[in-house]
Amino acid sequence: MALAGSLLAWHDSRMVSSASNRTRGSGNSDAYKTVGIVGGGTAGYLTALALKKKLPELQISLIESPTIPIIGVGEGTTPIMVKFLHNYLDRNIHDFFKRVQPTLKFGVKFEWGAPGDSFFTYAFHPGHILDSQYHGGDFNDYSLGSMMITNEKVPIVRDQKGAMNSLLENIAFAYHLDNAKFVGYLQEEAKNDGINVIEQNVVQFVPHEDLDDGLAYLVTEDGVERKYDLYVDCTGFRSSIIGETLKSPFVSFDSSLFCDRAVVANVPHGGSIKPYTTAETMNSGWCWNTPSREDDHRGYVFSSNFITDEEAAEEMRLKNPGMGDHRVIKFSTGRRESFWKGNVVAIGNSYGFVEPLESTGLHMIILEINSLILNFPRKKSEKAIAKTINRTLNDHWEDVRWFLAIHYAFNRKLDTPFWEYCRAETDIGDARERVELFQERAPLTYRQSLFYKTEAVFGDFAYDALLLGQGIPARFLEPQEKRVDWQKRNIGLKNLAETCISQAEALALLETAPEHVLQGVVSKPDTWASWP
C-alpha cells in the first residue's frame, strides 16, 4: 500500500498504569500507535489480520467475548474474498482448503424473472451476454463460467490419460464458507501472527464529552479500563460503539428492501455439491442455498408484513424434504450515517447490513478494511479523511441497496401479494439511471461505460445479467460476433464444459493434488485472482 509504505516507524509499546488500573496508549505523540478491535467474528479477525499485515508498526488488540458462540451457518462470498485471503493477506490457498474446506462458487443461479421453470445465471466470468440469446437462443451460454453453473461442473478436466488439468486460474470463482470453520481458521491465523486477543466482555464504553471525538476508553469485565488510539467497532448488529455509544443515526433501506426475517436450516444434498449459490423465489421473499461439503445451508428471507415465522418455516420445509431444525433470524437493512466518527471506525454489521441476495456481507467488509488501510492517518490531528471515507463508503452501500432493489422491482416469477407489492412499491433510487440506459440501448457492456470504475462488485455486467435475465423490455444493440464465429466458439466451450467434472469429484482431487495446482490460482502472472 502506498500510504503504508510511507508510514513513520512507530513505537510498539503500551503503558499500563497500576495506580488507575488503566491500559493507556503509548506516549503523548500525535501518531496512531494502538488499535483496539472490539468483537471477533469475520469482521474483527479479518480487520486484525489486515492491519497486522499491512501496518505492522501498529499494536493490535482484539477484544472478544468468551460467552458469544460462533454460529455455524453457510455464507457465500464474491471473488474478492479469494484475492483478499491469498494475495492481500498472503494466506496459503492449499492450507486454507485443508483447514476450512470451502466449496467453489462460480456465480448465482436465479430461479427468478419470468414465470414458470425458467432460470438465469449471473456468473463471475463475463462474456458476450447478448450474443448467446441472439445466436443460440439461450441466455445462459454467454461464458464458460456460466456453463459451469448450468451444467453443475467445475473447470477441471481429465485428459485421455486421466491426468488433471485445472482452469481455475482462468475462470473467476468465490467460496462458500461454513462460518464456524472460517472463524476458527482466522482465530488460529491471528494467534500465529501474534495478535493480542483479549477474551473479555466489555461492560462499558465511555465516550468523549463531544461524541464527534469518539471513545475515551472502554472497561472490560475484569475491571480494566483500556484505552487505544483507534477503536474498531466489530460488535455486529448491536453496533455498540458507533451506534449505541456515539449515536450515529441508522439510515434504513426499508423503502427498497422489505424483508426483515430469515428462516435458516440445513438440508441434505446427497453428495451433490452445486458450484453456485441458488436464489429461489418464494411466496413472500426468496430462499438461498449455499452448499457445503456435508449438506446445503438454506435460508428463507421474507417479510413479516406478509407471512408469519411459522408459515415461512412451513413453506420452506415443504420445498426441502429432510430439512433439519430451523431457527429464525430478525434483521434490519440499512447502514449507520458514519463509518468513521472521531477515533472509531465500524466494520461489518455494526456499520451496514443487507440481506445476502448477492453475498455482499463479506465483500463490503473487505472494501471497508481496504479503505481504512489505504487511508490510515499518520496523525490523530488529521480529520478531513474521515469525512471523505464516510461519503465514499456510504455511496458504496447505496450502490448495493439500489442493485438489490432491482431484483425485487422486476421479478415476475410469482404473483403473490408480496411480489405484487414489490413490483409496485420498490424504490430503485440511483439504479433507475442504469435501467433507463439499458432500456434505450442494451446491453450496457456493449458500449463504453458511462460510469466511473469503482471497487464495487456491481458494474455494468451485473446490471446486464439481472436486467436481461428478468426480461426487461429494451432496444437491443447488434451482437458483437458474427453468427458463424459465435457458433464455432460456443461449440468449443460446450465441448470443454462437458469434459469438466463435478464439484464433489473436483474437491476430492484437489485434496491430493500437488500444491501448485491451487497455488497457480493466485500466483500465475495472468490469473484473475491478483490484487486489486
C-alpha span between 217 and 205 (Å, rounded): 6
What is the band of 168 on the pLDDT scale with cuts at 50, 70, 90? very high
C-alpha span between 108 and 354 (Å, rounded): 17
Confidence check: pLDDT of 33 > 60: yes
Residue-wise DSSP of 418-449: HHHHHHHH---TTHHHHHHHHHHSB-GGGS--
Ramachandran angles phi, psi of 105, nearest 5°: -125, 120
Mean pLDDT, residues 454-458 = 58
Cell of 6: 510511507
Tell me the whole-structure pTM to 2 decimals. 0.92
Is 346 within a domain? yes
Beta strands in 462-522 (DSSP E): 500-501
Mean pLDDT, residues 156-171 = 87
Beta strands in 187-343 (DSSP E): 196-199, 202-207, 215-220, 225-226, 230-233, 250-252, 261-267, 277-282, 285-291, 296-302, 327-330, 334-336, 340-341
Is 274 within a domain? no
Cell of 137: 437462443
Number of domains in the chain: 1
Mean pLDDT, residues 32-44 = 96
Q: Which of 111-115, 448-452, 474-478, 522-526 comes out lowest in average pLDDT?
A: 448-452
pLDDT for 214-248, tens place per residue? 999 999 999 999 999 999 999 999 999 999 999 99
- Residue of 144, 151, 146, 128 lying closest to 483 (CA atoms): 128
C-alpha span between 118 and 471 (Å, rounded): 11
Cis peptide before 479 (omega within 30 of 0): no
Q: Which helix (H) or strand (E) holds 177?
A: strand 174-178
Instruction: Give residue 444's Cα distance to chain centre.
Output: 24
Q: Which of 15-29, 352-366, 416-430 comes out lowest in average pLDDT?
A: 15-29
C-alpha span between 111 and 281 (Å, rounded): 6
Write down the pLDDT at residue 164.
Answer: 79
Residue-wise DSSP of 82-132: HHIIIIIS---HHHHHHHH--EEE-EEEEE-SSSSS--EEEESS---TTHI
Return the top range by mean pLDDT from 13-22, 125-134, 309-318. Answer: 309-318
Is 17 within a domain? yes
- Residue of 503, 458, 424 lying closest to 101 (CA atoms): 503
> Which 3 state secondary structure label does DSSP give 344?
strand
What is the band of 273 on the pLDDT scale with cuts at 50, 70, 90? very high
Write down the pLDDT at residue 72.
Answer: 58
Confidence check: pLDDT of 349 > 60: yes
* CATH value at residue 364: 3.50.50.60
Is 183 within a domain? yes
Say what percent of the chain tops pLDDT 90.
85
Write down the pLDDT at residue 18.
Answer: 31
Enclosing domain of residue 383: 2-77+177-252+334-398
pLDDT for 279-337, tens place per residue? 999 999 999 999 999 999 999 999 999 999 999 999 999 999 999 999 999 999 999 99
C-alpha span between 367 and 80 (Å, rounded): 9
Mean pLDDT, residues 17-22 = 34
Confidence check: pLDDT of 402 > 90: yes
Cell of 322: 429432510
Is 486 within a domain? no
C-alpha span between 295 and 146 (Å, rounded): 23
Say what percent of the chain tops pLDDT 70.
93
Is 55 within a domain? yes
Confidence check: pLDDT of 21 > 90: no
Confidence check: pLDDT of 159 > 80: no
Q: What are the residues whose beta carbons fall under 8 Å from the beta carbon of 491, sequence distance 6 or more?
A: none
Measured between alpha carbons, how far is residue 54 from residues 3, 8, 13, 186, 213 in Å? Answer: 10, 13, 18, 16, 26
What is the band of 71 on the pLDDT scale with cuts at 50, 70, 90? low
Write down the pLDDT at residue 350.
Answer: 97
The whole-chain average pLDDT of the chain stands at: 91
Is 72 within a domain? yes
Write down the pLDDT at residue 363.
Answer: 95
Q: Which of 151-155, 162-166, 475-479, 523-527 comes out lowest in average pLDDT?
A: 162-166
What is the band of 532 on the pLDDT scale with cuts at 50, 70, 90? confident
Confidence check: pLDDT of 473 > 90: yes
Confidence check: pLDDT of 448 > 60: yes
- Residue of 23, 37, 24 lying closest to 65 (CA atoms): 37
Contact by Cβ (8 Å): 72, 476: no
C-alpha span between 434 and 439 (Å, rounded): 9
Q: Which of 149-158, 357-366, 457-466, 498-507 comes out lowest in average pLDDT?
A: 457-466
Q: Which of 410-419, 443-452, 472-481, 489-498 comes out lowest in average pLDDT?
A: 443-452
Helices 483-499 & 144-151 angle (0-180, nearest 10):
50
Write down the pLDDT at residue 14.
Answer: 30
